[in-house]
Structure 1
Amino acid sequence: MSGDTLGAGSFAVADYVVFALMLMVSAAVGVYFAWTGRGQRTSGDFLMGGRRLTALPVSLSLTASFMSAITVLSNPAEVYRYGASIGFYGFSYIITILVTSEVFLPVFYRLAVTSTYEYLELRFNRATRLLGTVLFIVQTILYTGIVIYAPALALNQVTGMDLWGAVISTGVVCTFYCTMGGLKAVVWTDVFQLGVMLAGFLSVIVRSGGRLHFWDFDTNPLRRHTFWTITIGGTFVWVSIYGINQAQVQRYISCKSIHHARASLYINLLGLGSILLCSVFAGMCLYSVYKNCDPWTAGLVSAPDQLMPYLVMDILGDYPGLPGLFVAAAYSGSLSTVSSSINALAAVTMEDVIKPHTNVSEKHLSFISKGLSFTFGVLCIGMAGLASLMGGILQAAISIFGIIGGPLLGLFTLGILCPFANSKGALSGLVAGLVVSLWVGIGAHIYPPPPELTRPLPLTTEGCNFTTDSLNWTSTVEDFPPCAPFSDHVSFSFTARSALEDHWYSLSYLYFSPIGTIISMSVGLIISVFTGGYWQKVEPRLTLMKEDTTLYYLIKFFKDRVSEREKKFGNTNLAFRDTELDFTKSSIST
């Protein structure tokens, strides 16, 4: 088979009904908030929800925003090919939420910024702000292109529907409710779509087995997935998403108080864990069904990202409505992420590009915000065409966040934690971090690491009930499963690899972000010191203060309790009281 259509089954009427219902509810949310928000005539109302949102819907929206179709389709495929080690992302999620809540949230919330890149101008200069804005726009459009393409691929695989018809449908629905309802519509559709995503996963998790390749503590940075690459590298990636990415920051600083904002982050942690656990179990289900007949090796699918939709039609095709629920889950993940990205792109462009150079009324700015949402929706649909050229969608997505998000994370961290960092150091560090991360990222794409470093787990077709001679297999050493059966039709290409390819370009893609962050901060600090940054005065509100942290209030609370107890009962420490008594006696005797 070609892999263009799976041929494992087709949608029943009930499947189309479930899928259409999800689209209708998403669009209806946009119409509802457009109707109820007729009196909201400012760009702040449209882009920030009037800063009156509460913790629960924001927390669910935070979870849905980056738990996209990439999670629904690619995480199970990663478990199927490499084992359950991606479960270690749970540790990186915990660290991410703690760092975001204690370091980045207090500063952004205090400044009441709409665009996170406003901070860069307040802390450094306008050039740094504009460069950060441009990098964010490029990163977000590339990522959104992948997210639009992924569910369209799933829809194409299970129904035979035209691929680009599905791509356009995704973009049109997202653009519609973003343009109509603004941030409130985005948040509440995310809440609904997160429920659909969980339901879709649960419809697949019926059996599991054999892929608990989990406890891998190899410290080699060239290994694709280990405890260290996922925990350390994953933390940098996710902090760059939750800590500074406009799409996420825009949500929690829209809460009506900082306590609601913090609560939204911690409640969101439960959602992240649930989605991660479901995706790991779904990958184990994949292996339990296909451990004796791998559809990818057999040529029944053309890419690992197509395995989940193939499984759905294979084992759930006899249950009308369940395949539709799974595709709705993949589609919901895409809608939530794309809508978040469109809204964030509109906010950044409005605040960083348009407002500083125009002098129009808030009513006109509101209309411009809606126009920007529509424009970016169309642009993201166009960028989806690049997604088919980027290989596995999970690695492509995380690589984009690592290559661009890593240096940006270093820049923001420099400003918030290092008072002596100046604009020269900040700009130099950002450029240096970007150059190095682009170097390793592009090099790794051109010269992918060999299988002995990525270590995909064994796959076989020994249990397939068709004749292997009829298959037309063509593969390269980089993507062919190491234990798959060989055939005369399989061609391998072995080329000598340089030391640069074997080491620098073979780094785990999860380390792209730490590299960019460390280079950005290191160069920024060095340049700042040599250009007089140590003597500059920075407004305290632009950096992290001890009063911003939860730890400060915990220590203060316990000190106050101890002081109150001492005032009421005196000092009850017997050793201290003996010392006081001895001191009193010696004073009397003298």
Structure 2
Amino acid sequence: MSRLDWLVLGGALLFVVLWGLWKGRGATTGESYIGGGRDHRWWLIGLSIIATQTSAITFLSTPGQAYVDGMRFVQFYFGLPLAAVVLSVTLLPLYHRLKVSTAYELLEARFDLKTRLLAAILFLIQRGLAVGLTIFAPALVLSVLLGWSLHVNILIVGLLVMIYTVTGGTRAVAWAHSSQMVIIACGMLLAGIMTAHRLPADVSFGDALHVAGGLGRLNAIDTHFDPNNRYNLWSGLIGGFFLMLSYFGTDQSQVQRYLAGSDLTQSRLGMLLNAMIKVPMQFLILLLGALVFVFYQFHAPPIFFNPGPVKQVLAGPDAAAYRAIEAKFAQARTDQSQKAEAYVSARHRGDAASIAEAKHQLSQSHAESEAIRREGIALIEKANPGTNPSDTNYIFLAYVLSSLPVGLVGLVIAAVFSGSMSSMSGEISALGATTVVDLWRRLIGGSQGQHEGRGEVWVGRLATFAWGCFAMAFAEYAARLGSLIEAVNILGSLFYGTILGIFITAFYVKRVRGGTAFYAALVAEVGVLACFKFTAISFLWYNLIGCVAVVALAWAFSLFQPPQPLPEGELAG
């Protein structure tokens, strides 16, 4: 990177840290540290919710996902708007009325302590591991593409985040999120504009979309129902709906964002703002990946975007064979570029027969070059056993470093770091809050009044720091997992359905009491893990399976127990 890129990157990260420290000052009680003062406005809540779920994985892996698989991943988010409406009507009023600090406090009042602890521990496990992935993703990619040490990258992200998160708590996180979203939006928007600008002069934006569509990269909607197909309209609307209900309704990293609202209206508006922005935002990021794909129809891409394994094969006995495949691939891509230009020219002439023939020729040429590319990847795997054959996570950043102008490179990398920092800060803050409220206060810390003093602030800071260290440690040992945007959502889907099932049982199956819900959740979680291990069912359906299994099993188990009255209080009503 140039000196200007370094200045842009360093200045952006320094601003985020200082802004978070400044806005987070004054957290002197446990309640203000965890709850952020409960005075946030709707726009700050909405930006904070979006930033918490917008990790570096979003900007590293999502464009690459569109590059290799098209835009069908956007269907993953189709259940979000409906889930946001349902939660705004049901859970948000309850959380505000009871003035809880975490989502899991409700479960002890409705069931018992062990059910509350089970839900909290399931959250802590999956979210603690997920934070490691959000750090590992940019650290790994940047270490390969920029030559930086993986350990240094992990430390940079982790320590920068912990400076303001540990110090200022929820308030610092929310305000840092606002500045991070500005950096992210500017970086990705300018990258998209520049990508469209760098297409050949006779290729318009409309032409680019037709090229992408002709090669199967604009497949945003798939109406075919197939439970083994990860991304279609039905898995997104149904499985995605249950995933989003659980994520935004029971995941403390999200619940903590809108619990900080000054009143119910502000929290609802923040939730709905997120629902309105998230789907278009993901669509545009995927579209950016499709544009990068079109860019490489007119410019030669590498066989493999991850340069590390390529360097290794070129240093070994298979170097000559790989060079021969590179030459064959370059020739195939030259032919493919000519076919792409012919397709665009046919579109400009408007002759339907010529357009159809040119499109067929382009598709055939693309298939031939992809076959050669697979030969090269197979040779890389042979020379480096254990190499991940997927380079999805490297495509976009490799494009940025090789094709975008000076200054913009630094801004996009700042967006990547900001994404990692925003997600990590929101998540470790939630992990610290859950540890304090659901474990420390309930099992160790004693009386209700203690969280008004400074002692619990230090307990919260220690818990947050410990979870940050755990995440960095896991990031050090995280294996390569293919597309990280898929990996992090698969991890969440292994637990979210079960947690959501506990909450739905609590609110709507009045017959079920404490121990029954606890054992039903344990059995359901084993069932979800079995689906993951032994079936080909798409991970989005795990959310529905886990939720329904908890509710059904809890109801069935309750038939063997005499009915008991609900506990007195607002939750019972």
TM-score normalised according to structure 2 size: 0.78
Pairwise CA RMSD of aligned residues?
1.9
- Which residue does 2:165 correspond to in 1? 178
Closer, same or farther in 2 for the Cα pair 1:196/1:274, shift >3 Å? Answer: farther
Distance 1:80 1:532, change over 3 A: farther
Residue 3 (structure 2) pairs with residue 13 (structure 1) = yes
Alignment-mate amino acid for residue 119 of structure 2: G
Counterpart residue number, 2:249: 243
Match of 2:518 in 1: 427
Instruction: Report if the CA contact (8 A) 1:154-1:330 is conserved.
Output: no
* Deviates most, 122-131 or 150-159: 150-159
User: 1:120 matched to which residue of 2?
Assistant: 107
Would you say 1:508 and 2:538 are equivalent positions?
A: yes
In the alignment, structure 1 segments of 5+ residues that lack a partner are 1-10, 444-504, 546-590
Query: Corresponding residue for 2:288?
Result: 282
Q: Say if 1:399 and 1:302 are closer, same or farther in 2 by CA, change over 3 A.
A: closer
Deviation per residue, 1:195-246 (Å, 9 max, x gap): 2122222132223531112331111101122111222222222221111100
Preserved CA contact (<8 Å) 1:342 1:376: yes
- Give 3-state SS (helix, strand or coil) of 1:542's partner: coil
Distance 2:520 2:91 in 1: 19
Q: C-alpha separation between the residues in 2 aligned to 1:274 and 1:329?
A: 18
Superposition map of 1:90-105 within 5 A: 90-105=77-92
Q: Secondary structure at the match of 2:220?
A: coil
Match of 2:560 among 524, 527, 530: 530
Q: How does 1:181-220 map to 2 (within 5 A)?
A: 181-205=168-192, 206-207=195-196, 208-209=208-209, 210=212, 211-220=217-226
Comparing both structures, which one devotes a greater share of its residues to helix? 2
How far did 1:531 drift? Answer: 1.6
Q: Which residue of 2 aligns with 1:567?
A: none
Q: How does 1:132-531 map to 2 (within 5 A)?
A: 132-205=119-192, 206-207=195-196, 208-209=208-209, 210=212, 211-291=217-297, 293=301, 295-296=303-304, 297=373, 303-316=391-404, 319-356=405-442, 357-359=444-446, 362-443=453-534, 505-531=535-561
C-alpha deviations, 1:373-428, integer Å up to 9, x for none?
21111111001134334332112111111111110011111112222221122112
Work out whether 1:73 is the aligned partner of 2:60: yes
SS across alignment from 2:117: helix
Instruction: Note the alpha carbon deviations across 1:31-76, whole angstroms, 9 max, x for none.
Output: 2135x41xx4211111111212111111100011112112112222
Give 2:425's aligned amino acid. Answer: S
CA contact (8 A) 1:171 1:381 kept: yes
Contact 1:100 1:239 survives alignment (8 Å): yes
Deviation at 1:538, TM superposition (A): 4.3
Measure the CA separation in 2 of the matches of 1:156 and 1:439.
35
For the residue of structure 2 that corresponds to 1:541, the secondary structure is coil
Residue in 1 that maps onto 2:308: none
In structure 2, list runs of 5 or more residues that go unmatched.
197-207, 305-372, 381-388
- Counterparts of 2:90 and 2:533, CA distance in 1: 31
CA positional deviation for 1:90: 4.5
Return the index of the structure with the highest Cα Rg: 1
CA distance in 2, matches of 1:171, 1:441: 31
- Whether contact under 8 Å (1:197, 1:332) holds in the other structure is yes
* Whole-angstrom CA distance in 1 between matches of 2:102 and 2:109: 12
Stretch moving more, 521-530 or 306-315: 521-530
Q: What is the TM-score when the length of structure 1 is the normalising length? A: 0.76
Q: C-alpha distance in 2, partners of 1:531/1:231?
A: 36
Mapped partners of 1:235, 1:81: distance in 2: 26
The count of residues paired between Structure 1 and Structure 2 equals: 467
Alpha-carbon separation, structure 1, partners of 2:390 and 2:476:
17
Kindly indicate whether the alpha-carbon contact (under 8 Å) linking 1:424 and 1:527 is maintained by their aligned counterparts in 2: no
Q: Give distance in 2, aligned partners of 1:134 and 1:89.
A: 26
| Larger RCO, structure (CA 8 Å, separation 6 or more) | 2
1:21-40 matched pairs, under 5 angstroms: 21-34=11-24, 36-37=25-26, 40=27
Q: Structure 1 pair 326/295, CA: closer, same or farther in 2 (3 Å)?
A: farther
Contact 1:237/1:406 (8 A) holds in 2: yes
Q: Distance in 1 between matches of 2:123 and 2:100?
A: 16
Query: What is the alpha-carbon distance in structure 2 between the residues aligned to residue 47 and residue 537 of structure 1?
Result: 30
How many angstroms does 1:26 deviate by? 1.8
The one-letter amino acid paired with 2:557 is I
Query: Secondary structure at 1:62's aligned position in 2?
Result: helix
Whole-Å separation in 2 of the counterparts to 1:399 and 1:89: 12
